[in-house]
Amino acid sequence: MQSRTMSGIGRRTLIKSGAALGAFSLAGPAIIKARGETPVKLGWIDPLTGVLSAPAQSETEGAKYAVAAVNKAGGILGRPVELLVEDSANDVGTGVAKARKLIDRDHVDAIFGDVNSGIAYAISQVTSEKKVFHIVPGGHTDPITGKDCKWNVFRICNTTSMDANAITPELVKHFGKRWYFVTPDYAYGHTLQEAFIKALKKAGGEYDGAMLPINTSDYSSTLIKARAYKPNVLLNNMGGLAQVDCMKQFAQFGMGKEMGLGGALFELESIEAVPPVAQTGWWDMEWWWDQPNQPEVVKWVADFRKAMGKTPSARHWFGWVAIWSTKIAAEKAKSLEAIKMAHALEGEELPPEVKLQPGKVFYRAGDHELMPNIFVGQVHPAKGEGNYFTVSSLVNGEQAQPLSETGCHMTYPA
């Protein structure tokens, strides 16, 4: 898999205001500091090793890039921001242990994580118990802001239902209603496939599929079964390196001549890691960099490329939004108390230089889910630097999943 990591400069790094951003270490725990005393401590947990390491590394890069920008802008409540990064190693027990360590030993003011939905969900139990402000940048499973929503937890990435509902009409239109699922057997995959099945049944479709371990690398038997089913489209719901392996084998078997390909997410990190023949299908992007009519986006992408030497992905944007959202919440609340920050962020609309897209982007008060645009379109071989995706339409987040369908009933401590 093509690496998107950055060169390391040690586990403790001093980032001064205006310093170059291209030499961060992703080894955990990593600490980023700005000038000043009594820093605001933010704990970041992601699977920096394992099959989800590429999106996790990008999220972490985005967070570090944001920390440097926030510190240059005066920090949070006039104090420098210190980011403590921990590797969950794609393991629930490890992720929970890292969360407790960051809260109990490092005394962080907020927690962020995890790419793995199961870990993000487990961490939310800890942060709720400890009453710590928590943002989930990139763990998608619905219950986090659905039936198990919590007053202290906010999420940036879409729910699986939002992603499934946004792309289903395009999959039906371009390919048909007979689907075969290749889905990871953990929290993310379970809720994503359930959402797709619900949407497909509404369209009068039928399906079959396989649910596989999150770290599956050999898809030969699964693809043989898919071929025998003769679907109109194969939905590759795997993530990270597992999705990359599946895409490569789909292309090697020549199955693109027999059926369509698509699904919820085919992220930039994964697109760059597969050969051009596998850069195909209809998908969602939860943020996309090529927005020529949005001046804040054009500037941000140019600055990011100059500093980081790469094109930003949705995962980089998740990290950017997570850190800035914390600053927005704390400064609106005039406090780092979790309950005050949570109330402050409810319903808050992100400014143009943070949302980096058109329209109103805000944290919905009823479930603490960010309501952005969902970029729906087609993946293809590059037509320029990082230009692997053509946007067909923007789907409003609230249209993709109304609050009434989430199952969230938000309650605050007495």
Give the model's pLDDT for residue 35. Answer: 47
Is 90 exceeded by the pLDDT of residue 31? no
Sequence-distant (6+) residues with CB within 8 A of 73 are: none
Candidate from 7-21, 262-276, 390-404 with smallest mean pLDDT: 7-21
Q: Do both 241 and 223 map to the same domain? A: yes
Sign of torsion over alpha carbons 226, 232, 238, 239: positive
More confident: 33 or 400: 400
Question: 79 lies in a domain?
Answer: yes
Question: 135 lies in a domain?
Answer: yes
Give the model's pLDDT for residue 319. Answer: 98
Question: 188 lies in a domain?
Answer: yes
* C-beta atoms surrounding 35 within 10 Å: 12
Number of compact structural domains in the chain = 2
Question: 412 lies in a domain?
Answer: no
The boundaries of the domain holding residue 263 are: 161-288+375-403
Question: 3 lies in a domain?
Answer: no
Q: Do both 328 and 277 map to the same domain? A: no
Q: Do both 132 and 269 map to the same domain? A: no
Q: Do both 23 and 145 map to the same domain? A: yes
Sign of torsion over alpha carbons 115, 117, 118, 123: positive
Q: Please state the φ and ψ torsions of residue 161, each to the nearest 5 degrees.
A: -65, -40
Is 90 exceeded by the pLDDT of residue 177? yes
Candidate from 26-40, 141-155, 222-236 with smallest mean pLDDT: 26-40
Q: What's the CATH code of the domain at 307?
A: 3.40.50.2300
The 10s digit of each residue's pLDDT in 314-360 is: 999 999 999 999 999 999 999 999 999 999 999 999 999 999 999 99
Q: Do both 165 and 248 map to the same domain? A: yes
Q: Do both 31 and 111 map to the same domain? A: yes
User: Position 337: which residue type?
Assistant: E
* Confidence at 21, pLDDT banded by 50, 70, 90: very low
Sequence-distant (6+) residues with CB within 8 A of 359 are: 373, 394, 396
Q: Do both 122 and 245 map to the same domain? A: no
Q: Do both 251 and 300 map to the same domain? A: no
Sequence-distant (6+) residues with CB within 8 A of 37 are: none
Q: pTM value?
A: 0.92
Q: Do both 21 and 103 map to the same domain? A: yes
Cβ contact 82:108 at 8 Å: no
Give the model's pLDDT for residue 37. Answer: 73
Question: 249 lies in a domain?
Answer: yes
Instruction: Give CA separation, 8 vs 59, 175, 346, in Å.
Output: 16, 44, 37
Q: Do both 152 and 20 map to the same domain? A: yes
Q: Do both 165 and 282 map to the same domain? A: yes
Question: 2 lies in a domain?
Answer: no
Q: Do both 147 and 296 map to the same domain? A: yes
